Amino acid sequence: MAVSDIGPGVRLVALQGDLDLADAQKILDEFKQLDDISIAVVDLSALTYMDSTVLGLLVKLHQRRFRQGRKLLVVRPGPNLARILSVTGLDKILRLCDSVQDAKRQAKLP
């Protein structure tokens, strides 16, 4: 997991590899750091596996950001995980981007 600021008020959390219940607290801690950020980007493109715990954390992050009136952009995962987003209907709820560059464009960054 890598966290970086990619523009003024824009923070990127890149999730990588296989993530499950054992990683939940670390992910939750990183997601909490997004509370004061105007635009949060969660990059799922290098994620190879996530269990329902991680999926639930992503949903909670979306709900919290929505309540705060703050933007959340999610970089699409590979085909296997994209199918999970589709089956759960999250692909209709989350604001998905094709890449980090696309997320930066949507955040109106140079």
Q: How do residues 77-90 score in pLDDT, each as one tens digit?
A: 999 999 999 999 99
* pTM flag (> 0.85): yes
Please write the tens of the pLDDT for every residue from 16-56.
999 999 999 999 999 988 988 999 999 999 999 999 999 99
pLDDT band at 110 (very low <50, low <70, confident <90, very high): low
Q: Does 109 score more than 80 pLDDT?
A: no
Average pLDDT, stretch 61-74? Answer: 95
**The two structure tokens encoding residue 4:** 């970086």
Cα 27 to Cα 54: distance, rounded to the nearest angstrom: 8
For residues 44 and 13, is the Cβ–Cβ distance under 8 A? no
Q: Which fold has domain 2-106?
A: Transcription Regulator spoIIAA (3.30.750)
User: How do beta strands 39-50 and 95-97 pair?
Assistant: unpaired
pLDDT at 93: 94
